[in-house]
């Protein structure tokens, strides 16, 4: 057994007080770039109160419809983003992953990759799912690299699906199967053991 | 101008009559195969009253991202299925297509192809979208053939995403861009 599912090399998956998470998400959303990287709907800032209501509603759902964690740095215990699994199809053993790191200063530091490794382990060894899916926008090469590094495979692209600043972009679909994830562990010693 | 956006060769697109549609859907849902071809959620049944309520709800509060039509044969005015544009994203000019023909006797008769042609014309010339997407399950080759015939292009597949009777199947994504559609008509 693993010592803990929730601690990686650089970050941990944390439970957040809804109020704290809501205030942070509202702050991150002031950067329209963050909104555009995580969402294809028109960017619109939300109030912390509005986000709080939405989080509380989600937490009331029993059994949970989504599994969302705060991402906190091991060094300094800073809340830098959130990661979650949603759209779970229990009958098919499948779900969709979402992740966001709010502050630009925390991008490209390896935090996201570490959080991805944690949430994949959670998906495959705690929820016992068979595959994890995600979509990502072609104008987000940083995220695509992190997904490739953690073992996600390119499965397709919705051509010209998005329009940003007059330019059309693909939406990319990726996925990882449980057996692929298990193989990637065997070759890299897995999370928290490197 | 076209004489009517809603008239095809074999079928026409009509408004959903809540009670009539609900009874038909409830009837179609008796065939679990129909549900499995249409939806990846576990097949389950709803009372026709519940279905009717849902249709009425949608009609009372028309949603900007959802357009639903009944499919009726022109020859006998028989209700044979339903088709919709859903998840329309106006800023990106994109939407998803859904279609279902309820009775097995109506499968493979060209009704689906005709209805998809109508809904494509509606999407591109009435809603002025830039592309139309769909997903279809690998165990539904009949539908895949129809989509290919009409000009949809496979764009990818979520590998082994579904489990049916112990066999894992892919979900296939297809789409057609407006300029591709224009070349076909």
Taking alpha carbons only, the member of A73, A40, A7, A49 closest to residue A162 is: A40
Taking alpha carbons only, the member of A120, A186, A125 closest to residue A153 is: A120
What rounded mean pLDDT belongs to chain B?
Answer: 95
Spatial distance between the Cα atoms of B66 and A137, rounded to a whole number of angstroms: 24
Answer yes or no: are the C-beta atoms of A55 and A21 closer than 8 Å.
yes
Query: To 5 degrees, how large is the angle CA B125–CA B135–CA A90?
Result: 145
At residue A192 the predicted structure's pLDDT band, cuts being 50, 70 and 90, is very low
- With an 8 Å Cβ cutoff, are B158 and A175 in contact? yes
The pLDDT assigned to B92 comes to 94
The pLDDT assigned to B44 comes to 87
Q: Give residue-wise pLDDT tens across range B94-151.
A: 999 999 999 999 999 999 999 999 999 999 999 999 999 999 999 999 999 999 999 9
How many other C-beta atoms are found inside a 10 Å radius of the C-beta of residue B176?
A: 23
Contacts of B162 in chain A (CB under 8 A): 92, 94
Supply A85's token pair. Answer: 């699994």
Q: Give residue-wise pLDDT tens across range A148-185.
A: 999 999 999 999 999 998 999 999 999 999 999 999 98
ipTM above 0.85?
Answer: no
Owner of token pair 């937490």: A59
Burial (0-12, 13-18, 19+ Cβ within 10 Å), A78:
middle
Contacts of A136 in chain B (CB under 8 A): none
Spatial distance between the Cα atoms of B21 and A47, rounded to a whole number of angstroms: 41
Quick check: B47 pLDDT over 50?
yes
Q: Which fold has domain B11-184?
A: Aminopeptidase (3.40.630)
Least CB–CB distance from B159: residue in A160, A161, A177: A177
Contacts of B161 in chain A (CB under 8 A): 92, 94, 131, 133, 175
The pLDDT assigned to A45 comes to 86
Answer yes or no: are the C-beta atoms of A137 and A171 closer than 8 Å.
yes
Report, as an integer, the average pLDDT of B38-56. Answer: 92
At residue A17 the predicted structure's pLDDT band, cuts being 50, 70 and 90, is very high
Which domains are seen in chain A, by residue range?
11-188 (3.40.630.30)
How many other C-beta atoms are found inside a 10 Å radius of the C-beta of residue A114?
A: 22
Question: For residue B121, what are the contacts with CB-CB under 8 A and spacing of at least 6?
Answer: B2, B5, B185
Answer yes or no: are the C-beta atoms of A10 and A74 closer than 8 Å.
yes
Beta strands A94-101 and A131-137 are parallel
- Report domain extents, chain B: 11-184
Q: Give residue-wise pLDDT tens across range A25-73.
A: 999 999 999 999 999 888 888 899 999 999 999 888 888 889 999 999 9
Q: Give residue-wise pLDDT tens across range A98-140.
A: 999 999 999 999 999 999 999 999 999 999 999 999 999 999 9
Supply B74's token pair. Answer: 């022109």
The pLDDT assigned to A194 comes to 37
B126: enclosing H helix or E strand: none
Residue of B nearest to A158 (CA): B155
Question: For residue B147, what are the contacts with CB-CB under 8 A and spacing of at least 6?
Answer: B116, B134, B136, B174
- With an 8 Å Cβ cutoff, are A131 and B131 in contact? no
Supply A71's token pair. Answer: 């991402």
Quick check: B1 pLDDT over 70?
no
Beta strands B131-137 and B94-101 are parallel
């Amino acid at each position: 057994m693993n010592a803990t599912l929730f601690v990686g090399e650089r970050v941990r998956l944390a439970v957040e007080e809804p109020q704290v998470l809501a205030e942070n998400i509202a702050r991150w959303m002031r950067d329209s770039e963050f909104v555009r990287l995580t969402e294809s709907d028109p960017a619109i800032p939300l109030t912390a109160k509005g986000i709080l209501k939405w989080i509380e509603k989600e937490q009331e759902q029993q059994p949970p419809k989504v599994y969302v964690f705060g991402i906190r740095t091991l060094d300094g215990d800073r809340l830098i983003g959130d990661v979650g699994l949603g759209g779970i199809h229990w009958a098919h053993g499948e779900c969709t992953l979402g992740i966001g790191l709010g502050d630009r200063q925390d991008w490209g530091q390896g935090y996201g990759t570490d959080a991805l490794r944690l949430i994949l382990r959670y998906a495959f060894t705690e929820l016992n799912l068979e595959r994890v899916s995600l979509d990502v926008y072609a104008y987000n090469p940083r995220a695509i690299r992190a997904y490739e590094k953690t073992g996600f495979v390119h499965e397709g692209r919705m051509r010209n699906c998005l329009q940003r600043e007059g330019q059309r972009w693909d939406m990319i679909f990726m996925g990882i199967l449980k057996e692929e994830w298990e193989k990637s562990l065997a070759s890299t010693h897995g999370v928290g053991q490197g | 101008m076209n004489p009517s956006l809603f008239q095809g060769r074999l079928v026409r697109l009509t408004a959903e009559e809540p009670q009539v549609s609900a009874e038909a859907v409830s009837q179609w849902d008796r065939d679990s195969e129909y549900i499995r071809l249409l939806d990846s959620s576990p097949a389950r049944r709803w009372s026709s009253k519940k279905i009717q309520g849902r249709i009425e709800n949608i009609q009372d509060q028309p949603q900007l991202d959802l357009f639903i039509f009944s499919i009726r044969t022109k020859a006998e005015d028989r209700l044979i299925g339903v088709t919709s544009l859903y998840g329309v994203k106006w800023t990106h000019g994109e939407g998803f297509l859904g279609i279902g023909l309820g009775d097995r006797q109506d499968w493979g008769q060209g009704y689906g192809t005709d209805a998809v042609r109508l809904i494509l014309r509606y999407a591109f010339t009435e809603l002025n979208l830039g592309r139309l997407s769909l997903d279809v399950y690998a165990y539904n080759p009949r539908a895949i053939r129809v989509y290919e015939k009409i000009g949809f292009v496979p764009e990818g597949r979520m590998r082994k995403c579904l489990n049916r009777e112990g066999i894992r199947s892919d979900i296939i994504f297809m789409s057609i861009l407006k300029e591709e559609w224009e070349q076909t008509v």
